[in-house]
A = this chain, B = another copy of it.
Amino acid sequence: MGVTNRRVAVRHVTPSVEAGRYPAKTSRGELVVVEADVFADSHDLIRAAVSWRPQGRRRWHEAPMRPLGNDRWRATFVPDDLGRHEFRVTGWIDRFGSWQRDTRKKLDAGVATDVDLAIGAELLAEVHGDATGPDAALLDALRAELLDASRPHAERAAAALTDATADLVARNDGRRFATASDAYPLRVDRERARYSTWYELFPRSTSPEPDRPGTLDDVIARLPYVQAMGFDVLYLPPIHPIGTVHRKGRNNNVQAQPGEPGSPWAIGSADGGHDTVHPELGTLDDVARLVAACQDHGLELALDIAFQCAPDHPWVREHPDWFKHRPDGSIQYAENPPKKYQDIYPLDFESPDADGLWQALRGVFEHWIAQGVRIFRVDNPHTKAFAFWEWCLNGLLDEHPDLILLSESFTRPKVMQELARIGFNQSYTYFAWKNEKWELEEYYAELFLTEVRDYFRPNSWPNTPDILTEFLQYGGRGAFVQKLVLAATLTANYGIYGPPFELMLHEARPGAEEYLDNEKYEVKHWLLDQPHSLAEMIRLVNRIRHENPALQQDRGFALHHVDNDRMFAFSKRDPRSDNTVLVVVNLDPHWTQAATTWLDLPALGIDDPDATFEVHDRLGDARYVWRGPRNYVELDPHVSPAHVFVVKART
């Protein structure tokens, strides 16, 4: 560092992902909270501002920062545009403000002198050089007053010492020797990246006729059912031709019987690969019609991207270089030794033709984007190279900033976080397995109260075709409702795999956390209209989400103490709409639990520790008047395992 007159330091800017190497994530219309340590040597007052702009634009927007104490400063802004942005923090010495402060003290102590006022006039003259129009005249008048030796000091200084003058000077201040931080990247996704409600179904199981598999047209017919429950994303497992070589049979048998349909994730056959629609499901045109029909039903189509190949995938023949070869010339199938998955060939990310492979994979996304698809659920991204994702996803997002890319990775935490950091804008989580209070508290504190929140957007799923937890297997209806409420309120993005979820299917293949007679390997004909269906409950929960902005974002999260280890309480608050939701859950799916809360009242927007306030349970529709932090709660899981309270301060 060379000689400089910049005296202000700007440190620890947040949000910042890996010191600004990766963009923090936000969404259009979401409040971005920027903080930084801003301070100078000595005792001068300082000012700070955050400025931001969409990348590539010339003009910066700016918002003044406010001091929070301990040299921490904060400003907020709301981006209007999609895509990559940058922001930076600037700090500078507030010379005139420092003079105001010191001169007030001197006047109070009766020690102000002509020289002190002349210093103020000098500072105004300096600012005047930057001012134009009426401000310049105002500055002139203030200077003349300060220098008017005919009047007492206090009178001469009065106008110069007002807040209005501070504002006048601030808006004309040339900010001499200001320090600007590096520019930090920020990616603005669309609203649905922040708040979305997913429903997964297998198209081949949507046929109304038991003697034929479903088609994309049958999916269109199913849309009103999905819409009625309040979902806004319809996600389909891969819709491509399914491999015939080493095809898996029912219940994951290594050899399919003739006529068995195979797993949709074993992609590719003589009928085509990742750019082709399974002939039994329909055609590319049908996909386009489905995209439009979804739109008509307030839904959006999400497709599955699973970068792996069945042995009869066209790429195996056309691009043998994209696969690993064994010394005997055969292609390396997937393994988890000693288990073999001979129906799947992984792609080789150390391929000598990595360039061709990367381009082809990105091409798969582009192909479906051209059909109007903007949401992708990406299968097992952690088994593909990070560098590929970083290149692919950033390229895609720069070109199509309305994309939503959900990482389906259930692996070690740092790998899941890395995938989010390098580009995925939604991520599956460990939610399905977090049943104990301490697990929930620890996990959501990590997701929402650490820097992870700046890049990792959780999407909670109580079940998937691969996941039927013991909790759901044995917990009964109480467990299903509890997991539904938690998924829908903990995170603004959640989804279920239906119809097994709403029909509360709970029988597992023995010894596995997986459905018995898994739909992955067979065609189902679901009977939807059953008295025990949770469809109505799901509709209610999704309506509560729809009505409460606090549940449509993942900020303003707080944990609340409850003196019972089987009860869990948290809140989410959206300060702009003044909407606060407090959720209290009985984690025990079988027995009634009761407890006293010890609420973090400020997190609920309540400052007075003795205030009375109303909590309105939107699940059960009961209203209570509570007072202070300690309140009694009791929940019978057979009635309702949770309160979803809207909190209203009384005025």
Contact = CB atoms under 8 A, between A and B. Distances in A.
Contacts of A383: 41-43
Contact of A70 (B42, B103, B330, B413): B413
24 contacts: A1-B391, A2-B391, A4-B387, A5-B354, A5-B385, A6-B387, A7-B385, A9-B418, A11-B418, A41-B383, A41-B385, A42-B382, A42-B383, A43-B383, A70-B412, A70-B413, A71-B414, A103-B337, A105-B338, A109-B338, A111-B340, A114-B328, A118-B328, A177-B350
A134 interface: no
For the complex of A and B, list the 8 residue pairs with the smallest distance between their C-beta atoms, beginning with the closest. A109-B338, A19-B19, A118-B327, A105-B337, A102-B337, A71-B414, A42-B383, A4-B387
B327 A122 contact: yes
Nearest to A358: B3
Contacts of A519: none
Interface string A103-114: 101101101001
Contact of A354 (B3, B119, B355, B358): B3
Which of A19, A108, A109, A338 has the most CB atoms of chain B within a 10 A radius of its CB? A338
A387 B106 contact: no
Interface in A354-404: 354-355, 358, 382-387, 390-391, 394
Nearest to A122: B327
Contacts of A444: none
Number of copies: 2
A18 B11 contact: yes
A350 B387 contact: no
Interface in A1-42: 1-7, 9, 11, 18-19, 37, 39-42
B43 A336 contact: yes
Contacts of A105: 337-338
Contacts of A315: none
A614 to B, nearest CB: 37
A164 interface: no
A19 B22 CA distance: 13
A9 B11 CA distance: 26
Contact of A1 (B106, B355, B390): B390
Given A11-B18, A41-B349, A41-B386, 10 more contacts: A1-B390, A2-B391, A3-B358, A5-B354, A9-B418, A41-B385, A43-B336, A105-B338, A106-B337, A118-B326
Interface of A: 1-7, 9, 11, 18-19, 37, 39-43, 70-71, 101-103, 105-106, 108-109, 111, 114-115, 118-119, 121-122, 177, 326-328, 330, 335-338, 340, 349-350, 354-355, 358, 382-387, 390-391, 394, 412-415, 418
Nearest to A328: B115
A349 B39 contact: no
Contacts of A106: 337-338
Contact of A387 (B7, B11, B386, B412): B7
B118 A349 contact: no
A4 B3 CA distance: 40
A370 to B, nearest CB: 23
Contacts of A328: 114-115, 118
Nearest to A19: B19
Contacts of A349: 5, 7, 41
Nearest to A384: B41
A135 to B, nearest CB: 23
A41 B382 contact: yes
Nearest to A324: B119
A5 B338 contact: no
A338 B111 CA distance: 7
Contacts of A71: 412-415
A122 to B, nearest CB: 6
Contacts of A413: 70-71
Nearest to A176: B350
A7 B350 contact: yes
Contacts of A119: 326-327
A115 B330 contact: yes
Contacts of A330: 115
Nearest to A389: B41
Contacts of A355: 3
A324 B35 CA distance: 33
Contacts of A335: 102
A387 B1 contact: yes
A341 to B, nearest CB: 13
Which of A11, A102, A122, A385 has the most CB atoms of chain B within a 10 A radius of its CB? A385
A426 to B, nearest CB: 19
Contacts of A41: 349, 382-386, 415
Contacts of A2: 391
